[in-house]
Amino acid sequence: MATSFPSSIDSFTNPSASDALDSVSVPHADQHANLNDAMVAVQTRLGAQSGVIGTWTSFTPTWTNLTIGNGITDMFYCVMNDVMHITGSFQLGSTSSVGSAPYFTTPGGYTLASESLGQSKMWDITVGVYTGTLSTYVPGNLIQPQTINTGGGYATTSPFYTTAPFTWATGDVMYFSITLKVA
């Protein structure tokens, strides 16, 4: 029997302890062959990396309102079923620039099915680290880093831009960590 996995669950005959090797409806050798086929399919699907499910893949996001120039992008994503994890950073170079409300596309052309859960950190190398979030546009494939604004009675978020939460310069870094559902 060829395995039905992953499109459906295989059905196997379980012999009882008192059954003779040749008394079940499926011969003993065939039972072993069927289980071996199914296990190879499972291992192929899950990968052979000590139980790792999914693979981290590097990508360079497509930015709008941000010039990469000679900046350093270090971004990765992993998709498991319909959940995507994105992590990484972008460090501004001398020819990089931040415009108004920059955003980037999801890797691999995935379309978002839900709002994101994640955080961004913006490191001004001369002052310190600022905390933020990541906003998504659903449906779509756009992710916008946000800064946390504490100017009012409650904390709110807003897109960062050239001078917020600080004036972006060479060496400053954006960090990202996000989990979202993809369609």
Average pLDDT, stretch 18-45? Answer: 70
115 or 104: whose pLDDT is higher?
Answer: 104
d(CA 98, CA 38): 52
pLDDT surpassing 90 at residue 65:
yes
pLDDT surpassing 70 at residue 49:
no
Average pLDDT, stretch 162-182? Answer: 91
CA-CA-CA-CA dihedral for 66, 160, 135, 122, to nearest 10:
90
113 or 95: whose pLDDT is higher?
Answer: 95
pTM as predicted: 0.70
Q: Are 133 and 118 in contact (CB under 8 A)?
A: yes
Q: Are 112 and 139 in contact (CB under 8 A)?
A: yes
Q: For 148, what's the count of Cα atoms within 13 Å in the CB-facing half-sphere?
A: 14
pLDDT of residue 40: 76
Q: What letter represents residue 180's amino acid?
A: L
d(CA 122, CA 168): 9
Q: Are 132 and 148 in contact (CB under 8 A)?
A: yes
- Highest mean pLDDT: which range of 2-16, 106-120, 122-136, 140-154: 122-136
Q: Are 114 and 179 in contact (CB under 8 A)?
A: no
- Residue spans of the domains in the chain: they are 1-51, 57-181
Q: Which two tokens stand for residue 171?
A: 């060496």
pLDDT band at 92 (very low <50, low <70, confident <90, very high): very high
pLDDT of residue 173: 96
Q: What is the CATH number of domain 57-181?
A: 2.60.40
